[in-house]
Amino acid sequence: MTTVEHLLGKSRHIWQQYYVHPFVLGIQEGTLEQEKFRQYMIQDYLYLVDYTKTFAIGVAKANSIPTMQLFAGSIHTLTHTEMDIHRGYMGTLAITQEEIDTTKPALPNLSYTSYMLRQAYEGSVVEVLASILSCAYSYEVIAKTMVQNRPECVDDALYGSWIRGYASDDYAEKNQVLIEMLNDWTKEYTEAQQQRLEDIFLACSEYELAFWDMAWMMK
């Protein structure tokens, strides 16, 4: 069993809650209140700023050019491809840059990113990957589950582009690079080292669930 397979197995009870979460189901069914999605997009934009900084720490801690390229490439994807999804919705949802700049991160958002950044600062490139993977990969799995459950969701006037972006082959390919790298780096890890990664991955998976709760309840 690879490291990522182990982590996914340990966190399965958390991830299963993503697929039936009312916010996620609302996107899938096209019934989510637009105001809820609007607030989520603002908070997620703020989240992505610190999420990107976590990858930047990976660049600084990398001890090889390929590793630097891995994290730098992820930064480019986040600041262009993924944030382009958000910028597109800014016009649709009448979100101004000024509103984003003056909005404070909600407490679950701030707690999540603070935790990720701490793991990245205190750990190695392996801890960086462990702390970001639950977000990166869960969005892929959630979007693909939506498409499986309701294929026509990709054509939804409001939520279709969000679903298509995270269910795309391009997004999955980038995640696969992260997964393979984490598996490769941890082949010789001790039980104690594996437990450390499990603690980080489980915590971030819980934070992901809390983020969906935050979005649904508009905290």
24-48 pLDDT, tens digit per residue, is: 999 999 999 999 999 999 999 999 9
Domains and CATH numbers, the chain: 3-217 (1.20.910.10)
Task: Out of 82, 127, 153, 208, pick the active-site residue.
Answer: 208
In three-state secondary structure terms, 116 is: helix
The pLDDT tens digits of the residues spanning 80-120 come to: 767 767 777 888 899 998 999 999 999 999 999 999 999 99
pLDDT tens digits for range 120-153: 999 999 999 999 999 999 999 999 999 999 999 9
pLDDT tens per residue across span 150-205: 999 999 999 999 999 999 999 999 999 999 999 999 999 999 999 999 999 999 99
Active site annotation includes 135: yes
pTM for the structure as a whole? 0.94
pLDDT, residue 44, reads 94
| Three-state secondary structure readout of 23-78 | HHHHHHHCCCCHHHHHHHHHHHHHHHHHHHHHHHHHHHHCCCHHHHHHHHHHHHHH
Which member of 82, 135, 153, 204 is catalytic? 135
